[in-house]
Chain A
Amino acid sequence: AQSVTQPDIHITVSEGASLELRCNYSYGATPYLFWYVQSPGQGLQLLLKYFSGDTLVQGIKGFEAEFKRSQSSFNLRKPSVHWSDAAEYFCAVDAANQAGTALIFGKGTTLSVSS
């Protein structure tokens, strides 16, 4: 069965510093991969997605992620973090059910930004 692991529960980064959030997935074929962000009291907003092709994908708000098949990873990066980036970040994989759009989410990583 597919699964997603986000090893870091909580990360604190200084404003202006770089950020990398880790995501590992378990899936037999090439997965569809996603990163979502959730601010307090808000729903999930899609940051970026990977389906195929170029393994480095660009998203909104200056985020990017790199798909590494050999490591079963899809880590999220940002070169310079802003205070407004403080939020919960979720990595997700397509459950690959041809009938639907069910996503399997990791448990999330809480990002705090210090000044």
Chain B
Amino acid sequence: DAGVTQSPTHLIKTRGQQVTLRCSPKSGHDTVSWYQQALGQGPQFIFQYYEEEERQRGNFPDRFSGHQFPNYSSELNVNALLLGDSALYLCASSRSPTSTKEKLFFGSGTQLSVL
């Protein structure tokens, strides 16, 4: 049973560019959350998708957007990249959006470097 898979594993972009990161949730999971982990910091919640809609959002600007597909996979898009967007982006999936009692499974992340 594959866990949470993310692609690509590494990415290098230039300031001002746009980037799309992808996530496939664990089998049986219908909810996907995205986190940003800057170097030396803990992960910060970006947003969560369930039933193809954004259900909850953290303190991130509108440059960060997402999408969830009917097969529950998800994309994270970041427009107008800034140097400060350089981070490890983690995807987490769960069976339910309503409670953290449902265990979150994390992917290995996409390391984004903005030059």
A95 touches B45 (CB 8 A): yes
Task: Please report the total number of A residues contacting B with Cβ < 8 Å.
Answer: 28
Residues of A within 8 A of B (CB): 4, 32, 34, 36, 41-46, 49, 51, 90, 92, 94-95, 97-108
CB distance from B32 to the nearest CB of A (A): 10
Stretch of B12-20, B62-70, B96-104 on the interface side: B96-104
Q: A44 contacts which chain B residues (CB < 8 A)?
A: 43, 90, 92, 106
Chosen A-B contacts, 14 in total, with CB atoms closer than 8 Å, are A44-B92, A90-B43, A94-B100, A100-B55, A100-B98, A101-B102, A102-B45, A102-B56, A102-B58, A103-B100, A106-B42, A107-B42, A108-B40, A108-B42
Nearest B residue to A102 via CB reads B45
A101 touches B94 (CB 8 A): yes
**Residues 19-58 of B contacting A (Cβ, < 8 Å):** 31, 33, 40-45, 48, 55-56, 58
- A97–B40 Cα gap in the complex (Å)? 26
Q: B99 contacts which chain A residues (CB < 8 A)?
A: 101
- A101–B25 Cα gap in the complex (Å)? 15
Nearest A residue to B90 via CB reads A43
Residues of B within 8 A of A (CB): 4, 31, 33, 40-45, 48, 55-56, 58, 90, 92, 94, 96-104, 106-109
Which of A43, A95, A99, A104 sits near B97, CB closer than 8 Å?
A99
CB distance from B91 to the nearest CB of A (A): 8
CB distance from B104 to the nearest CB of A (A): 6
- A102–B107 Cα gap in the complex (Å)? 16
Q: A41 contacts which chain B residues (CB < 8 A)?
A: 108
